[in-house]
Structure 1
Amino acid sequence: MRFSELSGKEIVDLNNGERIGTIGPTDMVIDPNTGKIEGLVIPKGKRFGKAKEEFYIPWTSIRKIGPAIIIVENHNSLKTT
């Protein structure tokens, strides 16, 4: 899967089925020492064209990437930046 294919997918919490948001413009965080993906930074809500807040989803929290949704575990542990 290409990174660009994540765009438009909904993010859903595995534990309670809550819709967290939809992936739009997203940044990927990569460990420069290992080259491994650490997580995704996803903007949520916009004001004057800028994100009001951002969520960091650790790559280890992603359980499944399907055709339309991304299932994450431990939504409560996701960080707001």
Structure 2
Amino acid sequence: MKLSELEGKEVINMHDGVRLGMINQSELVFDEITGDLESIVIPNRENFFNVFGQEEYLIIPWEAIVKVGSEVVIVNLKSKNYKAYSS
């Protein structure tokens, strides 16, 4: 799969059906040595109006990605673990 093929896809959590964001609104993190994709970093929509103006991000490890479809990327994150991936 080409990197450009990920652009524009919605990221959906399979546990609760929540739309986490879009790939084109995110950053991709690659391993410097191998070039493998390690994670997708998506701006946390819940904290859009943070009091201090500091953005928070949801980091989705590549291992959590279940399926890349034609329009969506399905991830396997349990709701209670969202904060474990935020920075």
Query: Does the TM-score normalized on the shorter chain lie above 0.5?
Result: yes
Cα distance in 2 for partners of 1:51, 1:68 equals 30
Query: Going by fraction, where is helix more abundant, 1 or 2?
Result: 2
Q: For each residue in 1:16-57, what CA deviation from the matched residue of structure 2 results, as whole angstroms up to 9, or x when unmatched?
A: 22222222233221222333221111224467xx98322111
**SS of residue matched to 1:35:** coil
Cα distance in 2 for partners of 1:44, 1:2 equals 25
Gaps of 5+ in 1: none
Report the number of matched residues: 79
1:80 aligned residue (76, 79, 86) = 86
Identity of aligned pairs, percent? 35
CA RMSD between the two structures: 2.4
Cα displacement (A) at 1:75? 4.3
Gaps of 5+ in 2: none
Structure 1 runs of 4+ aligned residues shifted over 6 Å read none
1:62 aligned residue (58, 65, 71) = 65
Conserved 8 A contact 1:24-1:42: no
Cα displacement (A) at 1:4? 2.2
Conserved 8 A contact 1:44-1:51: no
**SS of residue matched to 1:21:** strand
Cα distance in 1 for partners of 2:8, 2:19 equals 13
Query: Going by fraction, where is strand more abundant, 1 or 2?
Result: 1
Cα displacement (A) at 1:5? 2.2
